[in-house]
Amino acid sequence: MLSGCSEPLPSAVPTHIDGVPVDEAALLAVYGHVAESDVLRFDPVAIIRLQAGVDVTHPWAEHPRGEIRIRTNNLGLRSDEPVVADAPHGRRVLVVGDSHTFGFVNDDECLHERLESLLEVHTGDEFEVINAAVGSTGPVEQAGSLEAYLSLAPEAVVVVSFSGNDFRDALIVADLKAGRPKHGLVGDAAERLTTVREHWPRRTCLSQGYVQALVFKQLGDAAVDIAVDEAMNSLERMAALCATANVPVIFAMLPTKLDVDGDDDAFLLTTVRDQLDLSAADFGVNRRLALRVVDAMRARGHLMIDLHDALHAEPEPVFWRRDLHLSLRGHDVVAREILPTLAAALGSP
């Protein structure tokens, strides 16, 4: 979806994932979209990062301005402002996550910019909130991003997980690390997914909870357990990295549109679910997985925010219809929900 970049950055295919040696051919089979992209780059630590100098504008009918402009800075981070390692523009906070956190909104409307503004009003201090989120990533890659950008010396870190595909992503990486064939769809389920992709004009929306639910419906509890273990390992790795750097970390879990905006565009959302032969209970695996991780992280003493209730309480939709990503309103709600915990972690209750 992104294009229009400049200042090519080097791309180095990782030889290890989460410290585990991986075969290059197997890695490229999983991350082939990176090798083929003019925007994504391989990185030996972050695994996937964005090209610097992206500047692209997309027509966006749902947005009040009718369009969104997406830019990356000198480090390939979501911003129209450069980041200088040893010259922060105020107190630094690092945010990592996937495409929802990266944001399909304008730069000034994105989660990191909303957090920056809210923190400055709340504390009276100047802040520089850095958005290291990258689309098409899960917990393992996000741990790599956190490790790569901790060198920017943030005072706090925010990690936003997405319940709609992070666990499928974790399962894929677990298979890669174990050197086993990828858990994938076969038979009727695979055929149904192909058919829906061919006939649904917004087929990219399928990755926002539908494919993950279909995968776990077919593969069952054993695959679910592998995915949860891999996701938890990555979250614990991020917690350990931050503890070593003496930096507080706040985790947050983002739900899917169907979980909180189910009445918006309900006919289309549920029709697609039905075409995939997914019952409401089948799709509910996304929420069950989210709660499982939220409860586990809290039980281990980590700061974990479940964003479901705050988003569900909004009277207007918080996800776009176009691609099921967080909307302008959604970014603001998430920022406001994270603010109290983040401010307290920064010593400003």
Which is nearest to 6 in space by CA: 72, 99, 85?
Answer: 72
User: What is the pLDDT averaged over residues 321-326?
Assistant: 94
pLDDT tens by residue, 280-305? 999 999 999 999 999 999 999 999 99
- Give per-residue pLDDT as tens, 75-88: 999 998 999 988 78
The lowest-confidence range among 108-122, 190-204, 304-318 is 190-204
Residue 348 pLDDT > 90: no
Q: What is the pTM of this model?
A: 0.95
How big is the CA angle at 83 (ends 116 and 134), to the nearest 5 degrees? 75
Q: What is the pLDDT of residue 89?
A: 84
71-345, superfamily in CATH? Answer: SGNH hydrolase (3.40.50.1110)
Tell me the three state secondary structure of residue 16. Answer: strand
Q: What is the rounded average pLDDT for all residues in the chain?
A: 93
pLDDT of residue 10: 55
pLDDT of residue 11: 65
pLDDT at 86: 83
CA-based nearest residue to 323, from 63, 92, 140, 118: 63
CA 27/CA 345 separation, integer angstroms: 37
Given this model, what pLDDT does residue 7 score? 45
Pair of tokens at residue 209: 């909870």
* Most confident residue range from 17-26, 257-266, 325-334: 325-334
Residue position matching structure tokens 């082939």: 32
Which residues have CB under 8 Å from 306's CB, separation 6+? 252, 253, 290, 291, 294
Q: Helix or strand or coil: residue 156?
A: strand
Q: How would DSSP label each residue in 46-113?
A: TEEEEPTT-EEEEE-TTSTTSEEEEEB-TTS-B-SS---TT--SSEEEEEE-SHHHH-SS-GGGSHHH
pLDDT average, residue stretch 201-226: 91
What is the reported pLDDT for 5?
A: 42
Q: Is residue 6 over pLDDT 70?
A: no
The string of pLDDT tens digits covering residues 97-139 is 999 999 999 999 999 999 999 999 999 999 999 999 999 999 9
pLDDT value at residue 205:
87
Asked if 81 contacts 73 with a C-beta cutoff of 8 angstroms, the reply is: yes
